[in-house]
Each structure stands twice: as structure tokens, then as C-alpha cells.
Amino acid sequence: MNTLKYQSQAVAKPYFIFALILFVGQILFGLIMGLQYVVGDFLAGAIPFNVARMVHTNLLIVWLLFGFMGAAYYMVPEESETELYSPKLAIILFWIFAAAGVATILGYLLVPYSTLAHFTLNDLWPTMGREFLEQPTITKIGIVVVCLGFLFNLGMTMLKGRKTAINMVLMTGLIGLAVFFLFAFYNPTNLALDKYFWWFVVHLWVEGVWELIMGAILAYILIKVTGVDREVIEKWLYVIIAMALISGILGTGHHFYWLMTPDYWQWVGSIFSAIEPLPFFAMVLYAFNMVNRRRREHPNKAATLWALGTSVMAFLGAGVWGFLHTLAPVNYYTHGSQITAAHGHMAFYGAYAMIVMTIISYAMPKLRGIGEANCNRAQVREMWGFWLMTVAMVFITLFLTGAGVLQVWLQRLPESGEALSFMVTQDKLAIFYWLREIAGVFFLIGLISYISSFWVKDKIAS
């Protein structure tokens, strides 16, 4: 059965499938790292912690990028009311990106990082060895090429079709993503400059342009599942992303408190990042309001659940947990502690992993030719996955927060001489790390449940 409005939307399917495969990999490596936190020598020879972490974080970034690209390929033809400019280019870029991604991850796993650096000629243009930007320079160039082709394809599609606010916001977000990634190629010898501009990629991605992408996807889904008037949904989309950028751009300052920068950043960063939870709170009101005002009962209950869930979890993870340690006098003690890790986990899951699963939940039944929605049994299984993963992530965050508070108490607050050392402190946090690992296992069970829902069929049909 063909259930797609525009046939070229089908190119989104491999992107979504590959994203979910990488997601599984990300969680497996997360569990390895979580165990290494308490059993320090676990797999220490085969997969040292730094390698596991690199795989964990890079898989996250890459699967979210696959998810965003799949979302764009799915949404843009429908929003523009025209076929994609070149479905063939989208498929070619899929294979290039997938091959480059797999080769890079294998490089991390199979050879020492310094060997990978020499082998990929890092000394010609050193860009490696910085957090989240560990990819060999050649991979980074590949990412830029894929992004350019992707933006060209979408741009050409939009030019010949209808220009909606959702399309414009999505495109601005994606162009911003590509532009700010260029700072990954700037790696001066001076660490002070290196660190300052490193945040132009990291912060202006996740607390800037990625929020535009998230907002656009959420608005699209809300229109589809609620039937509320596009004018209303797009108006509030603009309000939310306006708040996101107005607070988020100068909110970058909360990373500059301790970085060889003038102290006015402590004021600028504190004030503007204190506003950063607002757009996320607005997003919760927006999602629940639109669903309450719905004009139709969409059969895909799971997609609606994801849409509501992502707004709530993004608010908690990015908004509340971000605010917890964003004020300069607090951050002085919490900077680079397990509190940062707690925030990072819930924010990435809530805002970005969940928005990608929202669009996947909505689009996959159509892409697979099933119809508007999966059968009830499959949706129930999917919702089990939703609740297990989401509740597990809440607990991961709470346990890491507990670890962080104790870490600050023992290691940061006392004076030199009285404070415990890092390693001694870590031993005292073991119980929290064990609980976090158990919560992580529940997350994996949730993920398995979620993935398995793709194979669940209606009783009558089977």
C-alpha cells in the first residue's frame, strides 16, 4: 500500500533506520563506560574509556544528524508541496555519510587514536583530539560535503515549492548547523582561543540552531496529529524560537566564565542563560495546548506521546537541569562535575533523541506502507519503549545529580588541603554509579522494546 503524499519522501527511510542502528550502538557503549566508572579495569585493554566515550558521543551526534536529515527529507517535500529536487542525490549522500561514519567509528575502535591521527594526516591540519570533534579531519571534510549536498537538495526543493514557516525555520536551523560546524576546522595553538571558538560549534549547535530544527519538527508533527490551524502553530513556533535564540546566543556566555575571558561574561552568561528555560517551558505549554485543542483524533497515539514527551523532557533536561548550575557563583563549584553529566544526558535525550523518535514514530508507518499508524499492539509496545527509556533517563539523571552534589561537597567546597582528591572522591560516589548503570540497563530494555515494536503485527493480520 502506498501511503506517501510525495514519493520522494521515501528517501527518509534509510536515514531513520540507520539512525536507530547507531542509537543502539551508542547505548551499548554507554553501558560499557558506565561499568568502567565502577569496575575501572573492565575491558581497559580492548576498549579504553576514552575510546568508549568517543564512540558513545560521536554515535549520538551522527545518529541525530541522520535523524535530522531524514526528518528534513520527509518534511520538506510535503511542506513545499512538491517532490524532492533529487532523490538520487539524497541516497548517494546517505551512503557516503554512512560509510564515513562507520569507517570513523571502526578507526576509533581498531587502532590507537594517535595512529588514527597520523594515518589521516592530522599534522597537516590538526583538528582532532577535542571533545566531540574527535573525527579525523578527512571525516570532518566529508561531513561538510554531505551537509552542502543535503542543503542544496533541500534548497532547490523549497525554491520550486511552497514556502512555509516550518520550512524556513528548519532550513535556517540546518544552514546554521553547517555554518557553525566550520569552527571545527579552527584549532589554534593558543588553547584560550581554541576553547573559546570550540563553543561556537558545541553551544551554538545544541542551545542555538538545533532548537530551530527541534521546533520545526515539533510544529510539523503538531499540525499533523492535532489538525490545529497552521497559522496558530507557526505563530507560536516563531515566538518559541525567538525566545530560544534571544536567550541562547548570549547564553553562550555561561561557558566563558572560566576561560581567560573578561568577567562581564559571568553577568551576561548568568542573565541570559537564566532565560534559556523559558522557550522550553513555552514548548511544553504549546505542545499540550495544541493537543488539547485538537480537531481530529489521529490514530498514531505513539507519535503524539513522543511529541508531548519531548517537550516535557527537554524542559526538564535542558531547562531545569541547565538552570541548576548555570549561574556563575554556582557554576564555580559545579563546573565539570557529574552535575554537568546529569544535565547533558537528560537534555540530549529529551530535546534531541526524543524529537527524532517523534518524527520517526510519525513517519515510519507511512514510509513502510502501513498507513497512518501502526496497529494497536505495535503502538503499545512502542509506548512501553517510550516509558521505559524516559523513566530510566530520569533515574540516570537523578543518580548522576546525586553523585555530582556529593562530588562538589567533598572535592570542590572544602579548602585546599581539606578537599578530597578526585580519585578518592570517585570511590565515594560508587553507589550512585552502580545505580546509574542499573538504570542504564533499564534504558536498554526500553530501547529493545522500542526497536522490537517495528516487528509487532496485528493479531488478526498475523
Partner 1 sequence: MSERFTKGMARNIYYGGSVFFFLIFLALTYHTTKVMPERDHRENITEAVAHGKELWEENNCIGCHSLIGEGAYFAPELGNVYIRRGGEAGFKAFFNGWMKAQPLNIPGRRQMPNFHLTDKEIDDLAEFLKWTSELDTNDWPPNVEG
Residues of span 220-239 touching partner 1 by CB under 8 A: 231, 234-236, 238-239
Position 126 contacts partner 1 (CB under 8 A): yes
The nearer residue to partner 1, 69 or 268, going by C-beta atoms, is 268
Q: Which stretch binds partner 1 (CB under 8 A): 7-15, 42-50, 82-90, 436-444?
A: 42-50
Q: In the bound complex, what is the minimum distance in angstroms from residue 302's beta carbon to partner 1?
A: 30
Residue 64, Cβ density class (10 Å: 0-12 exposed, 13-18 middle, ≥19 buried): buried
Q: Does 193 bind partner 1 (CB under 8 A)?
A: yes
Which residues inside 49-68 make contact with partner 1, applying CB under 8 A? 49-51, 53-54
In angstroms, what is the minimal distance from the CB of 450 to partner 1? 28
Regarding 336 and contact with partner 1 (CB under 8 A), the answer is yes
Q: Of residues 2, 189, 292, 462, which one binds partner 1 by CB under 8 A?
A: 189
Residue 128 interacts with partner 1 (CB under 8 A): yes or no: yes
Task: Tell me which of 35, 91, 391, 420 binds partner 1, using CB under 8 A.
Answer: 420
CA distance 376 to 382: 10
Least distance between partner 1 and beta carbon 39 (Å): 6
Q: Is 329 in the site for partner 1 (CB under 8 A)?
A: no
Candidate ranges 184-192, 220-228, 279-287, 381-389; the one touching partner 1 (CB under 8 A): 184-192
Check binding of 411 to partner 1 (CB under 8 A).
yes
Shortest distance, CB of residue 273 to partner 1, whole angstroms? 13
Answer yes or no: are the C-beta atoms of 340 and 420 closer than 8 Å: no
CA–CA gap between residue 442 and residue 394 (Å, rounded): 11
The residue (of 86 and 340) whose beta carbon lies closer to partner 1 is 340
Whether the CB-CB separation of 144 and 182 falls below 8 Å is answered with yes
How many residues belong to the chain? 462
Q: Which of 461, 333, 296, 452 is nearest to 389 (CA)?
A: 452
List 124, 423, 460, 461, residue binding partner 1 (CB under 8 A): 423
Q: Judged by CB under 8 A, does residue 37 bind partner 1?
A: yes
Per CB under 8 A, the segment of 3-11, 183-191, 362-370, 447-455 that binds partner 1 is 183-191
Long-range CB pairs of 434-439, under 8 A, 24+ apart, other chains included: 434/38, 435/395, 435/399, 436/34, 436/37, 436/395, 436/396, 436/399, 436/400, 436/403, 437/31, 437/34, 437/35, 437/37, 437/38, 439/392, 439/393, 439/395, 439/396, 439/399
Q: Which is nearer to partner 1, 240 or 287 (CB)?
A: 240
CA 81, CA 77: separation in Å to the nearest integer? 6
Q: How far is the CB of 105 from partner 1 (least distance, A)?
A: 14
- What is the grid cell recorded at 328? 556563575
Residue number with CB closer to partner 1 (379 or 401): 401
CA distance 11 to 266: 46
Whether the CB-CB separation of 284 and 243 falls below 8 Å is answered with no
Identify which of residues 166 and 353 has a Cβ nearer to partner 1 in the complex: 166
Q: Is there binding between residue 252 and partner 1 (CB under 8 A)? A: yes
**Distance, CA of 372 to CA of 333 (rounded, Å):** 50
Nearer to partner 1, 234 or 382 (CB): 234
Q: Among 32-40, 92-100, 357-365, 382-390, which window interacts with partner 1 (CB under 8 A)?
A: 32-40
Helix (H) or strand (E) segment spanning residue 158: helix 137-160
Q: Among residues 31, 89, 175, 341, which is the contact residue for partner 1, using CB under 8 A? A: 341
Residue 99 CB, shortest distance to partner 1, in Å, is 23
Work out whether the CA dihedral 127, 322, 256, 52 comes out positive or negative: negative
- Distance CA(372)–CA(381), nearest Å, equals 17
Q: Which residue has the cell 578527512?
A: 138
Extended beta strands in 192-255, E state: none
Smallest distance, partner 1 to C-beta of residue 297, A: 25
Look up residue 173 and give its three cell numbers: 536551523
Q: Residue 315's Cα: distance from chain center in Å?
A: 14
Instruction: Pick the closer one to partner 1 by CB: 54 or 378.
Output: 54
Task: Please count the residues of this chain forming the interface with partner 1, following the rule CB under 8 A.
Answer: 82
The only residue of 110, 192, 431, 441 in contact with partner 1, by rule CB under 8 A: 192
Using the rule CB under 8 A, which residue among 102, 129, 186, 293 binds partner 1?
Answer: 129
Cell triple for residue 392?
A: 530510566
